[in-house]
Structure 1
Amino acid sequence: MTDATHERVSELLARSHRLGADPRNTNYAGGNTSAKGTDTDPVTGQDIELMWVKGSGGDLGTLTAGGLAALRLDRLRALTGVYPGVDREDEMVAAFDYCLHGKGGAAPSIDTAMHGLVEAAHVDHLHPDSGIALACAADGEALTKECFGNQVVWVPWRRPGFQLGLDIAAVKAANPAAIGCILGGHGITAWGDTSEECERNSLHIIRTAEAFLEERGKAEPFGPVLDGYGPLPEAERKARAAALAPVVRGLASTDRPQVGHFTDADVVLDFLARAEHPRLAALGTSCPDHFLRTKVRPLVLDLPAGAPLEEAVARLKELHAAYREDYRAYYERHADADSPAMRGADPAIVLVPGVGMFSFGKDKQTARVAGEFYVNAINVMRGAEAVSSYAPIEESEKFRIEYWELEEAKLRRIPAPKPLATRVALVTGAGSGIGKAIAHRLVAEGACVVVADLNAEGAAAVAEELGGPDKAVAVTVDVTSEEQIADAFAAASLAFGGVDLVVNNAGISISKPLLETTAKDWDLQHDIMARGSFLVSREAARVMTAQGFGGDIVYIASKNGVFAGPNNIAYGATKADQAHQVRLLAAELGEHGIRVNGVNPDGVVRGSGIFAGGWGAKRAAVYGVEEEKLGEFYAQRTLLKREVLPEHVAGAVFALTGGDLSHTTGLHVPVDAGVAAAFLR
Structure 2
Amino acid sequence: MTNATAAELIARSNRLGADPKNTNFAGGNTSAKGLETDPVTGENVELMWVKGSGGDLGTLTEEGLAVLRVDRLRALQNVYPGIDREDEMVAAFDHTLFGKGGAAPSIDTAMHGLVDAAHVDHLHPDAGIAIATAKDGEHLTAKIFGDRVVWVPWRRPGFQLGLDIAEIKSKNPDAVGCILGGHGITAWGNTSDEAEKNSLWIIETADQYIAEHSRAEPFGSTLPGYEPLPEAERRAKAAALAPALRALASTDRPVVGHVTDSDVVLDFLSAAEHPRLAELGTSCPDHFLRTKVKPLVIDLPATASVDQILKRLPELHEQYRADYTAYYESNAAADSPAMRGADPLIILVPGVGMFSYGKDKQTARVAGEFYVNAINVMRGAEGLSSYAPISEREKFRIEYWALEEAKLQRMPKPKPLATRIALVTGAASGIGKAIATRLAAEGACVVIADLDAEKARAAASELGNTDVAIGIAADVSNEKAVKAAIDETVLSFGGLDLVVNNAGLSLSKSLFETTEKDWDLQHNVMAKGSFLVSKHAARVLIDQQLGGDIVYISSKNSVFAGPNNIAYSATKADQAHQVRLLAAELGEHGIKVNGINPDGVVRGSGIFASGWGANRAKTYGIPEEDLGKFYAQRTILKREVVPENVANAVFVLCTSDLDHTTGLHIPVDAGVAAAFLR
TM-score (norm 2): 1.00
Kindly indicate whether residue 160 of structure 2 is the aligned counterpart of residue 163 of structure 1.
yes
Q: Are the counterparts in 1 of residues 67 and 101 from structure 2 also a CA contact under 8 Å?
A: no
Q: 1:433 aligns with which of 430, 434, 441?
A: 430
Letter of the aligned partner of 2:644 in structure 1?
A: E
CA distance in 2, matches of 1:532, 1:387: 57
Q: Are the counterparts in 2 of residues 421 and 447 from structure 1 also a CA contact under 8 Å?
A: yes
Shift of 1:104: 5.3
**1:485 paired residue number:** 482
Q: Which deviates more, 286-295 or 517-526?
A: 517-526
Letter of the aligned partner of 1:129 in structure 2?
A: D
> What SS does structure 2 have at the residue aligned with 1:256?
coil
**1:462 paired residue number:** 459
Q: 1:516 aligns with which of 509, 513, 516?
A: 513
Q: CA offsets per residue over residues 639-680 of structure 1, 9 Å max, x none? A: 000111001100000010022101100000000000011000
Shift of 1:105: 1.3
Kindly indicate whether residue 580 of structure 2 is the aligned counterpart of residue 573 of structure 1.
no
Kindly indicate whether residue 494 of structure 2 is the aligned counterpart of residue 497 of structure 1.
yes
Kindly indicate whether residue 239 of structure 2 is the aligned counterpart of residue 242 of structure 1.
yes
Q: CA offsets per residue over residues 386-428 of structure 1, 9 Å max, x none? A: 0000000010000000000000000011100000000000000
Letter of the aligned partner of 2:77 in structure 1?
A: T
**1:63 paired residue number:** 60
**2:468 paired residue number:** 471
Taking the TM superposition and a 5 Å limit, the aligned residue runs for 1:257-276 are 257-276=254-273
Letter of the aligned partner of 1:294 in structure 2?
A: T
> What SS does structure 2 have at the residue aligned with 1:197?
helix
Q: CA offsets per residue over residues 363-397 of structure 1, 9 Å max, x none? A: 00000000000000000000000000000001000
**1:375 paired residue number:** 372
Q: 1:153 aligns with which of 150, 153, 156?
A: 150
**1:628 paired residue number:** 625
CA distance in 2, matches of 1:450, 1:313: 26
Q: CA offsets per residue over residues 53-100 of structure 1, 9 Å max, x none? A: 000000000000000000001110000000000000000000000101
CA distance in 1, matches of 2:226, 2:463: 39
CA distance in 2, matches of 1:52, 1:112: 10
Q: Which deviates more, 363-372 or 463-472?
A: 463-472
> What SS does structure 2 have at the residue aligned with 1:479?
coil
**2:87 paired residue number:** 90
Q: Are the counterparts in 2 of residues 51 and 73 from structure 1 also a CA contact under 8 Å?
A: yes
Shift of 1:199: 0.1
CA distance in 1, matches of 2:376, 2:420: 32
Letter of the aligned partner of 2:662 in structure 1?
A: T
**1:215 paired residue number:** 212
Q: 2:194 aligns with which of 175, 192, 197?
A: 197
Q: Are the counterparts in 2 of residues 463 and 474 from structure 1 also a CA contact under 8 Å?
A: yes
> What SS does structure 1 have at the residue aligned with 2:39?
coil
Q: Which deviates more, 641-650 or 307-316?
A: 307-316
Q: Are the counterparts in 2 of residues 426 and 503 from structure 1 also a CA contact under 8 Å?
A: yes
**2:98 paired residue number:** 101
Letter of the aligned partner of 2:583 in structure 1?
A: A
Q: CA offsets per residue over residues 592-624 of structure 1, 9 Å max, x none? A: 000000000012001111111100000000111
Letter of the aligned partner of 1:33 in structure 2?
A: T
> What SS does structure 1 have at the residue aligned with 2:540?
helix
Kindly indicate whether residue 224 of structure 2 is the aligned counterpart of residue 227 of structure 1.
yes
Letter of the aligned partner of 1:93 in structure 2?
A: V
CA distance in 2, matches of 1:452, 1:499: 14
Q: 1:122 aligns with which of 119, 124, 132?
A: 119
CA distance in 2, matches of 1:658, 1:458: 28
Kindly indicate whether residue 352 of structure 2 is the aligned counterpart of residue 341 of structure 1.
no
Shift of 1:123: 0.2
Q: CA offsets per residue over residues 576-603 of structure 1, 9 Å max, x none? A: 0000000000000000000000000012
Q: Identity of paired residues, percent?
A: 75
Q: Which deviates more, 52-61 or 450-459?
A: 450-459
Q: Are the counterparts in 2 of residues 340 and 403 from structure 1 also a CA contact under 8 Å?
A: yes
Q: CA offsets per residue over residues 179-227 of structure 1, 9 Å max, x none? A: 0000000000000000000000000000000011111111110000000
Kindly indicate whether residue 636 of structure 2 is the aligned counterpart of residue 639 of structure 1.
yes
The RMSD of aligned alpha carbons is 0.7
**2:603 paired residue number:** 606
> What SS does structure 2 have at the residue aligned with 1:51?
strand
Q: 2:250 aligns with which of 229, 246, 253?
A: 253
CA distance in 1, matches of 2:632, 2:523: 28
CA distance in 2, matches of 1:278, 1:593: 37
Letter of the aligned partner of 1:253 in structure 2?
A: S
Letter of the aligned partner of 1:70 in structure 2?
A: V
Q: 2:669 aligns with which of 658, 672, 677?
A: 672
**1:32 paired residue number:** 29
Q: Are the counterparts in 2 of residues 365 and 470 from structure 1 also a CA contact under 8 Å?
A: yes
CA distance in 1, matches of 2:465, 2:148: 44
Taking the TM superposition and a 5 Å limit, the aligned residue runs for 1:511-590 are 511-590=508-587
CA distance in 2, matches of 1:440, 1:102: 40
Q: CA offsets per residue over residues 276-325 of structure 1, 9 Å max, x none? A: 00000000000000000000000000000011211111112210111011
CA distance in 2, matches of 1:44, 1:643: 63
CA distance in 1, matches of 2:646, 2:605: 11
Q: Are the counterparts in 1 of residues 68 and 101 from structure 2 also a CA contact under 8 Å?
A: no
Q: CA offsets per residue over residues 223-256 of structure 1, 9 Å max, x none? A: 0000000001111011001101111011100000
Q: Are the counterparts in 2 of residues 66 and 104 from structure 1 also a CA contact under 8 Å?
A: no
CA distance in 2, matches of 1:605, 1:321: 54
CA distance in 1, matches of 2:508, 2:516: 14
Shift of 1:259: 0.2
Letter of the aligned partner of 2:384 in structure 1?
A: V
Q: Are the counterparts in 2 of residues 631 and 643 from structure 1 also a CA contact under 8 Å?
A: yes
CA distance in 1, matches of 2:87, 2:408: 16
> What SS does structure 2 have at the residue aligned with 1:515?
coil
Taking the TM superposition and a 5 Å limit, the aligned residue runs for 1:385-464 are 385-464=382-461
**2:277 paired residue number:** 280
Structure 1: gaps spanning 5 or more residues: none
**1:365 paired residue number:** 362
> What SS does structure 1 have at the residue aligned with 2:122?
strand
CA distance in 1, matches of 2:167, 2:655: 55
**1:175 paired residue number:** 172
Structure 2: gaps spanning 5 or more residues: none
Q: Are the counterparts in 2 of residues 40 and 47 from structure 1 also a CA contact under 8 Å?
A: yes
Q: Are the counterparts in 2 of residues 603 and 635 from structure 1 also a CA contact under 8 Å?
A: no
> What SS does structure 1 have at the residue aligned with 2:447?
strand
Letter of the aligned partner of 2:104 in structure 1?
A: A
> What SS does structure 2 have at the residue aligned with 1:103?
strand
Shift of 1:468: 2.3
Shift of 1:457: 1.1
Letter of the aligned partner of 2:377 in structure 1?
A: V
CA distance in 2, matches of 1:341, 1:199: 41
Q: CA offsets per residue over residues 528-583 of structure 1, 9 Å max, x none? A: 10010000000011000111111000000000001001111111110000000000
Letter of the aligned partner of 2:201 in structure 1?
A: H
Letter of the aligned partner of 1:356 in structure 2?
A: G
Q: 4+ residue stretches of structure 1 with deviation over 3 A? A: none
Q: Are the counterparts in 2 of residues 428 and 506 from structure 1 also a CA contact under 8 Å?
A: yes
Kindly indicate whether residue 69 of structure 2 is the aligned counterpart of residue 72 of structure 1.
yes
Shift of 1:466: 1.2
CA distance in 2, matches of 1:434, 1:613: 15
CA distance in 1, matches of 2:337, 2:376: 31
TM-score (norm 1): 0.99
